[in-house]
Each structure stands twice: as C-alpha cells, then as structure tokens.
Chains A and B, each alone.
Chain A
Amino acid sequence: MPEPIIKIRDLHTSYGELKVLKGITLDVYADETLVILGRSGCGKSTLLRHLIGLQKPTKGEIYIKDVDIVRASEDGREEVMKKIGMLFQGAALFNSMSVGENVALPLVEHTPLESSTISIMTRMKLDLVGLAGFENFMPSQLSGGMKKRAAMARALAMDPDILFCDEPSAGLDPIVAVGIDHLILKLKKAFKMTIVVVTHELASVFLIADRIALLHEGEVIFLGTKEEMKNSKDPRICQFLERRPDEEIIDRDKHLSALVGEGYIS
C-alpha cells in the first residue's frame, strides 16, 4: 500500500452546540479520485474547508503531504496551498476582476513569469474548461455553469497536484455536468492529479470515482469502491443509491408537537 497523500485522523468539529463532524478518519492516496457522498447538511463542505485550512477542528489531525495543516504556521500552510486547487460550491470568483484576471491571479502572485506567458497560460486553462475567448468577461456576465467552469480554470492555474471540488456539477444542465465529469477524468488521466470531489449526482459518482466515502451525520459510514457500494446491504447506503425519501413519520403526536412548538399539545 502506498503512503497516503492526505491523512485525516479523528476529526471533530462543531459550530457552537451543533456537532458537525464526529470523528472522521480518512486516507486519500496519490492519483486517486475520491468521491465524498452525503446528504445535504451532513458536513461535506465543512470537511473540505478543514482540508484547506480555512477552519480549525476542535479535535483531530490533518496531514497533507506530511504537513500538519491544523498546526502548521501560516507560511507552511501557504506553501502547501500553492499546489492545491479548490473549486468552491459557489464558485467564489473575484467579482471585481475579469475572468482572465481571476485565472491569472495565482500565476501573477506566485510565479516570476512574464505577463505574455501568463496570458497564454490563462487562455490555455480557459480553453481546457471550454471557456476560450471569455477572458475579458466579468463574472457577473457569466451563467452559473460558466462561473463554475471559470472557477475550475482558476483552481487549475498553478497546475496543482491535489484538486478539491465542492459539488462541481450542482445546478448545471446534464450536458454541462457530464462535461465537467469528463474534464475531471481528463485531469486524472493526463495530469495524474489527486482529486477529491463532493457531489450528489450518482451518475457522476459512478463515472469518476475510484473510491467512495459516504458521510452520514458527521461520520464516515462507508468507504470503498463502486462495486462494494453497489453490493452493500447497509440500509442507509441502499436508501441513498435507490434515491428513496425518508421513512414516513410514525409518531404523529411527536411530529405535530415538533411543528407547533413544545408544550402546545399535552
């Protein structure tokens, strides 16, 4: 077994009283594509935010390439981040800059390249995501799907070796969504990137994943390959795969009192 490139150890975190992650332990190996599945609000984005050091856990450790992200100095963390790309759930393009400037920014800031070289690289990255010729557009002039793709180009600007994607195809039409999946496949094959994707789209999960982790109420309840997942008997996994809604509410009184507030029904 090769050494994992990302190691998450017993990660706990909470927003005030609300415990969101309750002891996540997970390894990601170099060059693999790991898909994180889970219901809305189960803490997937929160997990990614911890991986890039935006949030500190209440307990637990994260190592990326053997750097302790939780306790690293600001400079140490930044050094790791330069080789990591992140696609935010809401794209998070800089609205005051054009699409081209967005993609060029990390290159301008972190490399000694000349501006002519940078503009060529910018156009190459935009071409890769199918946005050639849009470098002078402002983010506000793009559709949601185009923003996602522009953000993807920005995440790829520094040729990262790890890429995190938070719901890359949510809210996109099926054709563009498949386009993004194929882009991820291309990156995986051509650039040997380690990719961690959070998604709800089962179709894309089975297209891109090497391994799947299923998050449920702040814990990893399943980790394995596509086949293992399909063959699993765990009711929570089956529910997810078969896209069944939650069970009908049995206890009507309890449900009613939850709706109208405590103490209303005696």
Chain B
Amino acid sequence: MRNIFGKTGHGFYSFIAHLARILKLSGQSLYWIFIAPFKGKRIRWRLTFIQMVRIGVDAVPIVSIITFSVGLIIAMQAAYQLERFGASIYVADLVGVSITRELGPLITAIIIAGRSGSAIAAEIGTMKVAEEIDALKTMALNPIGFLVVPRTLAMIIVVPCLTILADFLGIAGGFSLAVFSLKIPFIAYFNETATAILLKDFLTGLVKSLVFAVIISQIGAYQGFSVSGGAEGVGKSTTASVVSSIFLIIFSDLIFTMIFFSA
C-alpha cells in the first residue's frame, strides 16, 4: 500500500520536475527568439530554412495523403448516417467543420510529432552523446540559439502552413466522395461547405496548430538534451518525445476545445 503511494508520489514528483525543466527550456527558447536578437545575437535563418524544408516541405506528401483519406473516411461515415434521412448534403458541413476545427490541426500535429519531433530528439540526443553539444559550448555557441531556435522557428512557421494544406485536402477528400459516389452536384457541395465553415473555426484551428508546433519542438529538444548513456538512451528519448508530445497535444487540444466550446 505504502509502496503504491510511494510510487505514485514519485511519479507525480518526477512529472512536475520534467514539466518545470520543459518550461525552463521553452523560456530560454523564447529569450533566444525575442530578446537575444536585440542584444546582437542573430537568429540563424539559414539553419531555420533548412529545418523548414525538412519539417515542412518533406512532410507534404504524407500529410496530404493522410488528411485526404481522413476526409474521405469522415464523409463515408457521415453519409452512412445522413443518407437515411435524405440529408446527404450535410456531409459537407460535417466534413468541413470537423476538419478545420479539429482534425486538420490534430492530425498534422500528430504526423509532425512522429516525423520531426522524434527527429529533433534523436539529432540533439546523438549530438549530446558524441560530445558535440559540449563542443558547441566550448566554441562559445549556445546550443539553444544554435540548435533549438532554428527548429522551433521552423516548426512555428511550417506547422500552421501544413495545417492549412491539411484542411484543404481533408475537405477535398469529403468532396470527392460526395461528388463521385453520393452524386451531389459540385456547386451544391461547394456552397454548403462555404456556408458551414466559419472563419472563426478555421482560425481557431490555426491557433491550435501554433501551440502544437511549440509543444512538438520543445518536447523534442528537451528529450534530446536529457539523453544519457549511448545509443540506447537516444532510442528511449526518441520514443519518449513522441509519446509525451502526442499526450500534450491531445491534452492541450482538450483544454482548447473546452474554452472554445464554452465561449
């Protein structure tokens, strides 16, 4: 019994300790993005650009295919229910709203967490193990400014862009089902979608994606820096980065939805 309390207490304590260190790292990243440039420390746009290509451009095909399929799936599930009431046209509303408000940002974030959050953790972790982080410090290069900031900035720029793409392709998925299988006229579906999606829905989705971008980059970097030991440590941290960023993404999504739902 005591053991259980002890374990839970210890687990809770270490969770809080992790959280505190993640917040500290995020604070340092914020400092390096917003304050350090005014103190003569430049932001490395070239490295940021390289990361934007790796995190964003390279993810376009997979994000497209997955969100298109999800749009198609929702449309099929919705049509199955709505057809019985002769209300197939409302597939457009369902797909449009659920993709822009929820699934576009969420699925993009989960793909990027699996694809790039893990890569950030693995890269930084490998550098830590090989003393490369120490080498950076001895060259008077701050690892936050040199490694974390370009990745964070790239993430913040690219994830919302991917989310917009995901929104379009998700809707396109629903669209293709409606037009080719449900035989809803092109114009009717288009008009229905256009009236269903409010600008607000679309924007809340983008705000969420911004938060997800910060979560993925900071967790990835944090897990990378906390690697200890050799290759095994890198593997553990990489896994942990994916698991904990997906957890935090869903958790913050829940909070957001509660706020927007009540508002």
A interface residues (Cβ-Cβ under 8 A, vs B):
49, 52-54, 74, 77-79, 81-82, 84, 86, 88-90, 92-96, 105-106, 109-110, 158
Would you call A88 and B141 a contact (CB within 8 A)? no
Cβ proximity bits B223-237 to A, threshold 8 Å, 1 near / 0 not: 000000000000000
B interface residues (Cβ-Cβ under 8 A, vs A):
123, 126-127, 130-132, 134-135, 137-142
Given A86-B135, A88-B135, also A95-B140 (CB < 8 A): no
Q: Which residues of B contact A92 (CB under 8 A)?
A: 130-132, 134-135
Bound Cα distance A84, B130 (Å): 20
| Chain A residue nearest in CB terms to B135 | A92
Would you call B138 and A84 a contact (CB within 8 A)? yes
For the complex of A and B, list the 3 residue pairs with the smallest distance between their C-beta atoms, beginning with the closest. A78-B140, A92-B131, A92-B135
Would you call B134 and A95 a contact (CB within 8 A)? no
Can you sample 16 A-B contacts with CB below 8 Å?
A52-B137, A78-B140, A81-B138, A81-B140, A82-B139, A88-B135, A90-B130, A92-B131, A92-B132, A92-B134, A93-B135, A94-B135, A95-B132, A96-B123, A105-B139, A106-B139
Nearest CB in chain A: distance from B177 CB, A = 44
Q: Which residues of A contact B134 (CB under 8 A)?
A: 49, 54, 88, 92
Bound Cα distance A180, B137 (Å): 24
Q: Which residues of B contact A81 (CB under 8 A)?
A: 137-140
Nearest CB in chain A: distance from B156 CB, A = 22
Q: Which residues of B contact A86 (CB under 8 A)?
A: 135, 138
Bound Cα distance A90, B132 (Å): 10
Q: Which residues of A contact B142 (CB under 8 A)?
A: 74, 78
Q: Which residues of A contact B138 (CB under 8 A)?
A: 52, 54, 81, 84, 86
Q: Which residues of B contact A105 (CB under 8 A)?
A: 139, 141
Q: Which residues of B contact A95 (CB under 8 A)?
A: 126-127, 130, 132
Bound Cα distance A77, B138 (Å): 9
Which of A53, A89, A94 has the most chain B CB atoms inside 10 A of its CB? A94
Bound Cα distance A106, B132 (Å): 14
Bound Cα distance A78, B145 (Å): 13
